[in-house]
Amino acid sequence: MRLLGYTRISTAGQDAQLQIDALVGAGVQKRDVFSDVTSGSKTAKQRPGMKRLLEYAEDGDTVVVWRIDRLGRSLLDVLATVNLLRDRGVKVRSVSDNIDPETSSGRMMLGMLATLAEYERELITERVNAGIAAAKQTGTKFGRPPVDPDETAQKLAIAEEARAKGRTAEDAARLVGWSRATLYRHRQADGTHDTLTKPV
């Protein structure tokens, strides 16, 4: 069984030495410490250091962190990372939080984390649903706004005229506030493919 360390700091201006010292004190070799300098907005799988750790870790290894929050940007992300490691047979130990899967108290802490993460997930869902309901009551419409066929036809006519005068499809689309792809899509729906499908 190997002890593998993981550190995370948000900016290059911060110092990970405190975390590294704690990991070395817990028995991790410096060569086995994986590090990330990245903002909390990135999930664990998006961080290069964590990716390398996941590729290196084997069944039976233990990942040691200074604090459990180093594993994720939120409680949900922390738990997702813990579960990702455990699915590979890799245990997680947190030095400062006294979380050790080899002890009954450590297993209890991980169970509490899972319960709290589920609670956080439910709160987020409730807030989103409440926000949608409140927006609907005030008349907010969701999804794409309805397309006015007359307006679309007028814009197509303008684009057709511009193309007939030698303008590129991109220029013709820009005249009516569309991208070239949007222009082609409307032309296809209209059933005409002549001048606008010529190479630009």
| Active-site residue, 35 included | no
Distance CA 105, CA 99 (A): 7
Q: What is the DSSP letter of 194?
A: S
Selecting among 10, 39, 96, 179, the annotated active-site residue is 10
Q: How far is CA 114 from the centre of its chain?
A: 20
Whether the Cβ atoms of residue 8 and residue 49 lie closer than 8 Å to each other = yes
Name which of 45, 61, 55, 43 is nearest 5 in CA terms: 61
Distance CA 153, CA 112 (A): 60
| Strands, E assignment, 137-182 | none
At 176, list the tokens. Answer: 């009516």
Residues annotated as catalytic (active site), given as ranges: 10
